A and B are shown apart, each in its own frame.
Chain A
């Protein structure tokens, strides 16, 4: 089997969901270092990391009726500045990009190639290679293997919708959207952990509750609906997968003006824990991938497949009030990296456009802070103030809040 055949057989369908979606999802992780970036050393670091992570040397080829993946033999070149570029059109065919400005390295990628959990191993490796060159850090950098694709047929056996006919009964409601604004909120992590302990729930459950309480006045109903994703690598038996391994879930809580975190935390925590059960993850992921596979199998031009995919998604879902992605450690959710790497990282931000909700929260944990990067499609004034007020009321310390500005290009 040739390399191209291996790529197509293994990884194409895992990314196809992000190809067929109406909106292209470009993601950005940005790491501020303790010193100005040396671009020559950064280029060397990216070259070395790419040599050790062959998975990312791929390019997406569009044909009339299908997409396929080929090896990308072009050299990858980093660029200066913070501009988010179209991938692969402005990145030499690559589905990711690396740029720098002052002390910050920007890592951008098309969600087709990886989810946040998967791409982090690669990005962290680039940082390690860079620190080895810039600071003689001495980090060990063996090749980064990618797990082979999971067994799609075995996964789809869990799809409860496999034999269903007829269009879903849900009445689709368009996501409210206007002028997207970005803001950032920094929380003291320990105080959130303490709030969670008071309710006997996971910290992320407490965060979900606090954000639900904060958003309730804006959604103008008692019930606040949110979506979140869970990583399914371990359930699928592919812990080293770079490719997308995500099951998304939805939950709603009554979060009216009189409600406090202690009233809703247990329900949120129970829902979250149930979504981490292997059967729940496999069932949900099978539903998502089953739809991808059915659209992919259509004998129709790509543009028709893309429209069919988005119609099916709209018919099968209704938008949530907010989307949350809890990354945890931005250098590696499994903390599989040398702890000393943290010493070279001053700050972190993550910008991913909300999909299927009017506001999205991407939350990372670094240096004792929870960094909440917020993208609000409605540009609501007072959103961070409202969140800060709820946090303060529930004993969670807000370290800072800032309006960052409009959306990045391609993330509008």
Chain B
């Protein structure tokens, strides 16, 4: 799966979990500031991503996810 496809999955989950319009999301979007996500929403998005990509993301990685790009980088390295 390439970056564009991973981005599409993330955008879909953001829309589903936090009702964020796809137009508002780009790779540089900061999860907590630009997208105004709560920590609970971030955990929910990560759980959704785990299910979508069939992987387990260790809890110690969670605080390293600051931007959408961080999520894409992590997922690309594992499912790309």
Contacts and interface: CB of A to CB of B under 8 A. Distances in A.
Interface in B17-41: 17, 32, 38-40
B68 to A, nearest CB: 17
A166 B47 CA distance: 17
B44 interface: yes
Contacts, number: 41
Contacts of B46: 311
A311 B43 CA distance: 7
A308 B32 contact: no
A209 to B, nearest CB: 32
Contacts of B51: 303-304, 307
Contacts of B50: 307
Interface string A273-307: 00000000000000000000011001010011001
Interface string A301-322: 0011001100110110000000
A166 B38 CA distance: 7
| Most chain A CB inside 10 Å of its own CB: which residue of B43, B51, B62 | B43
B70 interface: no
A387 B15 CA distance: 55
Given A307-B50, A311-B59, A314-B59, A165 B39 contact: yes
Contacts of A165: 32, 38-39
A145 interface: no
Contacts of A304: 44, 47-48, 51
Given A166-B32, A304-B47, A304-B51, A311 B40 contact: no
| Most chain A CB inside 10 Å of its own CB: which residue of B42, B44, B46 | B44
A298 B40 contact: yes
Contacts of A1: none
A307 B60 contact: no
A172 B47 contact: no
Contacts of B62: 167, 311, 315
B63 interface: yes
A343 interface: no
Interface in B59-79: 59-60, 62-63
B43 A308 contact: yes
A175 to B, nearest CB: 12
A307 B63 CA distance: 16
A162 to B, nearest CB: 12
Contacts of B40: 294-295, 298, 308, 312
A307 B47 contact: yes
Contacts of A312: 40, 43
Interface string B2-15: 00000000000000
A304 B50 CA distance: 10
A171 interface: yes
Given A166-B32, A172-B60, 12 more contacts: A165-B32, A165-B38, A167-B62, A171-B60, A172-B59, A300-B47, A304-B44, A307-B51, A311-B47, A311-B62, A312-B43, A314-B59
10 contacts: A165-B32, A165-B38, A166-B39, A172-B60, A300-B17, A304-B48, A307-B47, A308-B40, A311-B43, A315-B62
The 8 closest A-B pairs by CB, nearest first: A307-B47, A314-B59, A172-B59, A308-B43, A304-B47, A167-B39, A311-B43, A308-B47
